Amino acid sequence: MSALTVALVQQSIDWLAPQQNFAQLDIQLSAQQVQLSGCDLIILPETFATGFALAEPCAESPVGGEALTFLQRQAQRWQAVVAGSVLVTQGEKKANRFYWCWPDGTVRHYDKRHLFCLGKEGDHVIAGREREVFEVNGFRILPQVCYDLRFPVFQRNRNDYDVMINVANWPAARRRIWDTLLQARAIENQCYVLGCNRVGEDGFGTAHNGGTAAYDFTGALLASAPDDQADVLVVSLEKGPLEAFKQGFPAHLDADSFSLQ
């Protein structure tokens, strides 16, 4: 059975400093060269280039801008799919775009669906409309961004994905919720769930303490990064145990049918 090796990059993001963040990520990834050399997928946090700076025009990147170029360069360097969220120009607003870049030059994306009203994200960002599933090394992956984690209907597994990945700027003040919801999504959807969060303070003084982690299809914690420090967490997911578990306990066969508008 196939396996998927994923690196989750727990990053300390410098506020509104793309070039500095790119340089720091280069150093952080280079320090893990042995581990990353066998990875299929490398994941960076939400708004990895600038921080969650919604109202700042300088945080906005043109479609195909320097943040995407950075991701494409890393995909070539590591010969892996490299993915991370970027604020990109979308009409008069922005999109919170989770780019996925393949070494062969293929680029796909998921735009964040659920916008954080408390942070007035909707004043600056257009909500995505499409639910995407990408395939890497035989694993079907549902990409999600931060606040999406609170909305289980949108994430409901219709037996169409094996792994859910959420990238975030999730604050330390709500860390227990992050941990609990990641585990819950794994249990209810009978899938692997990977959460990739940042550390450090943002430009508003909001603290982030990490919580980057991997859960299996029973909700068991497979691995986690240390709190309050930059780290690269590498996990290997096996398809066989997942399929065997779902065959032995096929809860998806009893799920309600529905459609999303």
Q: How many domains does the chain have?
A: 1
- The whole-angstrom separation of Cα 192 and Cα 182 is 10
In tens, the pLDDT along 200-210 reads 999 999 999 99
> Residue 102: which of 125, 132, 136, 130 has the closest Cα?
136
Confidence of residue 15 (pLDDT cuts 50, 70, 90): very high
Confidence of residue 2 (pLDDT cuts 50, 70, 90): confident
The answer to the question of residue 71 being in a domain is yes
249: helix, strand or coil: coil
With respect to residue 259, please indicate whether it lies within any of the assigned structural domains. no
Q: How far is CA 43 from the centre of its chain?
A: 6
Which residues span the domain enclosing 27? 3-253
* In a domain? residue 261: no
In a domain, 28, yes or no: yes
**Residue 61 per-residue DSSP state:** B
**Is 66 a domain residue?**
yes
Query: What CATH number is attached to the domain comprising 205?
Result: 3.60.110.10
Q: Which of 165, 164, 213 is nearest to 191 (CA)?
A: 164
Give domain status of residue 260, yes or no. Answer: no
Helix (H, G, I), strand (E, B) or coil at 112: coil
With 0.85 as the threshold, say if the pTM is over it. Answer: yes
Is residue 119 pLDDT above 90, yes or no?
A: no
Q: If DSSP states are collapsed to H, E and C, what string results for 247-261?
A: HHCCHHHHCCCCCCC
Tell which residue, 6, 5, 4, 12, has the closest CA to residue 45. 12
Task: Give whole-number Cα distances, 234 to 7, 152, 191, in Å.
Answer: 4, 26, 18
Helices 66-78 + 18-30 axis angle, to 10: 10
How confident is the model over 41-58, as pLDDT tens digits?
999 999 999 999 998 887
Tell me how far apart the alpha carbons of residues 141 and 133 are, in angstroms, rounded to a whole number.
Answer: 5
Give the per-residue pLDDT at 1.
54
CB atoms within 10 A of CB 90: 16
Strands 134-136 and 139-145, sheet pairing: antiparallel
Residues annotated catalytic, as ranges: 46, 112, 146
pLDDT at residue 86 above 90?
Answer: yes
Residue 241 located in a structural domain: yes
Span 147-190, pLDDT tens digits: 999 999 999 999 999 999 999 999 999 999 999 999 999 999 99
122 is a domain residue: yes
